Structure 1
Amino acid sequence: MSDHSDHTDHDALLVDLDGTVYRGPDAIEGAVETLEAVRARAAVSYVTNNASRGPDEVADHLRHLGLTLDTDAVVTSAQAGAAVVAEQVPSGSKVLVVGTEALAEEIRLVGLEPVRAEDDEPVAVVQGHSPDTGWRILAEAALALNRGAVWVACNVDPTLPNERGLLPGNGSMVAVLRTACVREPVVAGKPAAPLLRQAIERVGARRPLVVGDRLDTDIAGAHSVDAESLLVLTGVSTAAGLLAAPAGQRPTYLGADLRVLGGDLAATAVDDGDTGGFTARREDGHLVLEGDGDDATAALRALCRAAWSSDDGWDGVRGAEKMISALGLASA
């Protein structure tokens, strides 16, 4: 891409929550004020891969942080997971729920019956994050899956960010059943398309912008629905991860946090935005960064252009040592 429309052309923002709007129970600096301002020019939907809470509870949390929203502005992977299950089994079918009561409620809302034991002969298993998931419910799910039940995972995020660091996410629990049953689930949440498509359809968006902190879910998810994306560096993904990202996980825009939405978003475009005077190139198997500014994301945009200019690998970064250190990159 060589030309980006002004960010006011995005008619909806599909915003991730964990690591993007908040970390643990607390808002990330600048997030609330920025999103409140954005509401004046575009619809804002909060799209989360976390299936542990219902949309009412999520909306209440966001309101407590100071955001203005209706509950239907929240779209969860539990809702998407339930919808995917409902497409594959007859109405009224029994579904074994590996997850919270919020996920069980979404199963009820689509006309299915949630159960917690394989003895109930469920025809499907739906799996979402719960901090209380243990061996017993995983064992029930394994029995059902080995009997041939449909398997839908609300998401496969291996980690979940909170204020203490990265914790095991639903994907880590999915991996248990993948290993035990030698099967792959149908995935509803990001990076699969169903969750984002549900959010897009709900607001009738024609040109949505997907905003998040994870390359492998948020940004890859944007690619799955052919939408532009903004990566913020407040959660899981790092500068090193971004430089190594495959084509299907590369964001359109890059910012330190959500406050970039309050300025000229086009200037943050990775391929042709502002690099703060920094330049980068490939040389002798390394990336070479030159410049003496203090905008780390601008420097990272320059490095991305060099890193992504070829499929050839590279070993470390050299040049502007202070900035290389600030980005947490390995110096060559």
Structure 2
Amino acid sequence: MSQALDEEHDALLLDLDGTLYRGGTAVAGAEAAVSRVRASGGTVRYVTNNASKPSEAVVEKLNSLSIPATNAEVSTSAQAGAALLAERFGRGDSVLVLGTAALADELAALGLRPVRDVASGPSAVLQGHSESTTWSDLAEACLALRAGADWVACNRDATLPTERGQLPGNGALVYALEMATGRSPEVAGKPERPLLDRAAVSAGAADPLFVGDRLETDIAGARRAGMASLLVLTGVSGPLDLLAAPEQARPDFVAADLTALSAPAEESAVTEQSAWNVEAGAAELTLTAVGEFPTMPEPFGESALAALRALCAAWWRVGSGDVRVRAGDDAAKSVLHGLGMQD
């Protein structure tokens, strides 16, 4: 009997927003999926680029949504950024913090001295998102960087999802300092490796599965770290994004949500599908059903996801970027409409 997808790996590394929850609501099936893994003795790590909150706040939010979590299971880009600096500076060395008090606490926990001004002679700058960052804060960091301080950014996320929509993220302010200094930071969070490597080490995992909803951070990060990855279609990246994904941001598995973890791995694999045929041309794909469906496939059901996997497998073998997709029959037309690939 085939193993479930989560059983083929020695730990699950899970993104948060868009994967486990959206805003203040848990994604359907998330609590059951995580509880099942933990009940069977599996190892879970919650991996987030958010550097503005302590791990306790992450645990509190997950638990409030009935998703079980402990502090030891949380890996943040703030922790990863602080650890990078602790590896190269001694106890008591000062680091200028451009971020929240929680980010400063991560430095202090590792023996470094968080400061807020260039007059303190900081050896480095650690930059994370904070809603209260001002021009004056950026000016202090700018002076420190121009004086030669090391620079670590917790992440380069250009935007931050909120209830009001996408707002400027840490990456937007990183860019401002890049323009002002002519320098670029070392990045601790996804898609760079430090955060994911630390999470895997924390889990004692040699073959983890990373699960996320965003190709350019979650999946690209997993690829850089040499980890298998599952893209869930509950957040940012959709079917068209997936089909056009560059090689460095292509997942091994694709599913609607986390319920795929308990299903056989081959059901979510990006590969040829027995129910669908795909003809690939130079700039066009044609999807046709193999045989007849007893009823018309649901627009975004499992048949549609199987078609998406088949399309990706065919296109990724021969091309990259945007491609036109044609329906070869009514079944294909139905699923392509559901996937947002045809009007």
- Whole-angstrom CA distance in 2 between matches of 1:315 and 1:216: 19
Q: Which runs of 5+ in 1 are unaligned?
A: none
3-state SS of paired residue (1:125): strand
Equivalent residue number for residue 92 of structure 2: 92
* Shift of residue 293, structure 1, vs aligned partner: 2.9
* Shift of residue 164, structure 1, vs aligned partner: 4.1
Q: TM-score, normalised by structure 2?
A: 0.89
- Whole-angstrom CA distance in 2 between matches of 1:80 and 1:33: 29
3-state SS of paired residue (1:308): helix
- Per-residue CA deviations over 1:60-98 (Å, capped at 9, x if unaligned) read 111111122221001111000000111222321111111
1:1-332 map, 5 Å: 7-41=6-40, 42-271=42-271, 275=273, 277-283=275-281, 285-291=283-289, 293-294=297-298, 295=302, 296-311=304-319, 315-319=323-327, 320-329=332-341
Counterpart amino acid of residue 317 in structure 1: V
Query: Identity across aligned pairs (percent)?
Result: 49
3-state SS of paired residue (1:211): strand
| Matched positions, count | 327
- Whole-angstrom CA distance in 1 between matches of 2:48 and 2:338: 30
* Shift of residue 45, structure 1, vs aligned partner: 0.8
- Whole-angstrom CA distance in 1 between matches of 2:321 and 2:192: 28
- Whole-angstrom CA distance in 2 between matches of 1:189 and 1:50: 9
Equivalent residue number for residue 292 of structure 2: none
3-state SS of paired residue (1:235): coil
- Whole-angstrom CA distance in 1 between matches of 2:271 and 2:183: 39
Q: Which has the larger radius of gyration?
A: 2
- Whole-angstrom CA distance in 2 between matches of 1:29 and 1:264: 19
Deviates more, 1:43-52 or 1:281-290: 281-290
CA contact (8 A) 1:254 1:270 kept: yes
- Whole-angstrom CA distance in 2 between matches of 1:193 and 1:313: 25
Deviates more, 1:32-41 or 1:13-22: 32-41
Deviates more, 1:154-163 or 1:31-40: 154-163
* Shift of residue 6, structure 1, vs aligned partner: 5.1
Q: TM-score, normalised by structure 1?
A: 0.92
Deviates more, 1:306-315 or 1:44-53: 306-315
- Whole-angstrom CA distance in 2 between matches of 1:317 and 1:114: 53
Deviates more, 1:263-272 or 1:205-214: 263-272
